[in-house]
Amino acid sequence: QVKLQQSGAELVKPGASVKLSCKTSGYTFSTSYMSWFKQIPGQSIEWIGMIYAGDGGTGYNQKFKGKATLTVDTSSSTAYMDLSSLTTEDSAVYFCARGQLGGDYWGQGVMVTVSS
Amino acid sequence: DIQVTQSPSSLLASLGERVTITCQTSQSISNNLNWYQQKPGQAPMLLIYYATSLQTGMTSRFSGQYSGRSFTLTITSLEPEDIANYFCLQHYSAPLTFGSGTKLEIK
């Protein structure tokens, strides 16, 4: 069955960067899209962007350009998201999801806390 | 960006009751809208895609309809396991945008 397993919770200092992972199984990763989302607890969800694993092509929400960088490793069927220059406003739960139209299968989410 | 206005923000309903949640988009998106259910501490689950198609494995108590820029999610007979937050998402154009969510609780 389709599974998306995200890395564990992160506590990072302001100004630092963090790399989140999303390891997949149960489907053909190399011909699929992966989308990433941000959710501040108790709030709605924002679309960060998406990446096509076949060629690494990306599309970003303008709001997250320069903040998020999406990459993939097809050899391990894993997608990554780098978040840079973190501030307290980046504290949130981040989800990966298969597909480019919102996603049908989602990872369990990873909490990123930015605090000194 | 396409704005998605979701209502109500919260909803108290009785078990067995018919429940309707609405999303209105700021411009026409055809049927490019999904509905998601999210329980506390969990990832969203896809319920309805392309406005009216029930995702495989989801109960047929959920259904979606649309007319113009107005989209509805209906639960025909509320069950305890339906208590959750519900979000709509337009995927007609980037950036994809979500409604603000509806918190569904038991009366």
Q: Of B22, B33, B2, B11, which is closest to residue B83 (Cα–Cα)?
A: B11
CB A92 within 8 A of CB A112: yes
Q: Does B74 touch chain A (CB under 8 A)?
A: no
Question: How big, in percent rounded to 5, are the helix, strand and coil portions of chain A?
Answer: 10, 50, 40
Tokens 């945008």, located at residue: B97
The one-digit pLDDT tens for each residue of chain A (116 residues) are 999 999 999 999 999 999 999 999 999 999 999 999 999 998 999 999 999 999 999 999 999 999 999 999 999 999 999 999 999 999 999 999 999 988 999 999 999 999 99
Judged by CB atoms closer than 8 Å, whether chains meet at A44 and B101 is answered as yes
Interface test with B, best of A4, A38, A40, A45 (most B CBs within 10 A): A45
Reading the block at residue B36, the tokens are 């998601």
B13 in reach of chain A (CB within 8 A): no
Q: What is the CA radius of gyration of chain A?
A: 13
Helix (H) or strand (E) holding A3: strand A3-6
